[in-house]
Amino acid sequence: MTEPEPAGETIEARLRRALGPRSIVLVGLMGAGKSTVGRRLANRLGMIFKDADNEIEAAAGLTIPDIFAIYGEPSFREGEERVISRLIREGPMVLATGGGAFMRDSTRARISEGGLSVWLKADLDVLMRRVRKRGNRPLLQTENPEETMRQLMEARHPVYGGADVMVLSRDVSHDRVVQDVMEALDSHLNGPARQGIAAQ
């Protein structure tokens, strides 16, 4: 017989209990808000936040643009998978991953083994407005960054669609997107009926 849920349990407590040792892994294109939303989500849930790109740079002693330039993308992806595997083993945490991480079969398998994947999906104009604020995106160092981003969306969206949960990253406050992520996870982990009870 399962224990009854505590009366008046908060969504934060309910998610922590349902997650157990698993991490929340944010996936999606650059500019989707994985790091910003991830940091605030971790804060709401009282969990550690890690950014895979920052951890890769710390492990390599190089910036990601430098790793791409010196070693190439295939070598970067191998290192990325090792770092993500290590972080997930350390869990539970909220982990923001680079845009290409989820494209690699073996990295997706690692994420699935120890975490729940959340795809932050954003429209092209939203992504471009955000990425133009930062010039350190190796994959956008092209003559037509917007066309490059469109091609990335076409290639990656079908794969991101395999994530456990999808949440729209819109031009609203970061806290609103965080709430959307928590509600989507709550529905995924505890069933829509649970959300209905919580909303009453």
Give tens-digit pLDDT for 178-189: 999 999 999 999
Q: Under a CB-based contact definition with an 8 Å cutoff, are residues 160 and 27 in contact? A: yes
**Is there a binding annotation on residue 137?**
yes
**Is there a binding annotation on residue 104?**
no
Domains of the chain: 18-182 (3.40.50.300)
Indicate the DSSP class of residue 21: T
Least confident range from 49-58, 104-113, 122-131: namely 122-131
**Is there a binding annotation on residue 31?**
yes
Indicate the DSSP class of residue 138: G
**Is there a binding annotation on residue 77?**
yes
**Is there a binding annotation on residue 22?**
no
